[in-house]
Amino acid sequence: MNAFNETIKHYDHVDILINNAGILDDSIWEREISVNLNGNIHGLILGMEKFLKTYRQSEEAVIVNISSVCGIECYGFLPVYCSIKLAIIGMTRAWGCPAHYEDSKIRVICLSPGATDTPMMQNLEPVRLIAGHYANTRAGCGSRGAGTNNKVRQKRKRLDR
């Protein structure tokens, strides 16, 4: 909330909000849900009900929710994180429906980037080892099954050359 207040002090208005909260550690899954899911829901609702209704300059506004490729593809070694990111995609689809847009003139969209070199990713060597083992020994989740993992392995082989 402080960052938003500072932005308003400096710019007077805001028409675009980036809604992103993230930790990656399924071993502390309750905190992961609190930060990643509840934080994003809270940010979206505050953005729609308070900030953009009050402080936007344009007739329309945008909220960009940040999910992850983990919400699109299932990674069995990160079940809680993947579930949360899938929920953010679902939340975006629900709040982004035409009825909400017509009522609020706030467009809600989602970006789902792949792994990005951030501090969150710095201490993930154990996750990388598990991920490599999982991709090589098990079929993927969801409707695409083993085909997805075969495609990933083929891409890795091409990149390793």
Q: Which residues are catalytic?
A: 81
| Coil/strand/helix, residue 70 | helix
Structure-token pair, residue 113: 């980037």
Q: How far is CA 45 from CA 10, 49, 114, 131, 142, in A?
A: 23, 6, 25, 34, 30
Assess contact for 150 and 137: CB atoms under 8 A. no
Write out the two tokens for 1. 């909330």
Strands 106-111 and 16-19, bridge-based pairing: unpaired
Sheet containing strand 16-19, strands side by side: 16-19, 61-66, 106-111
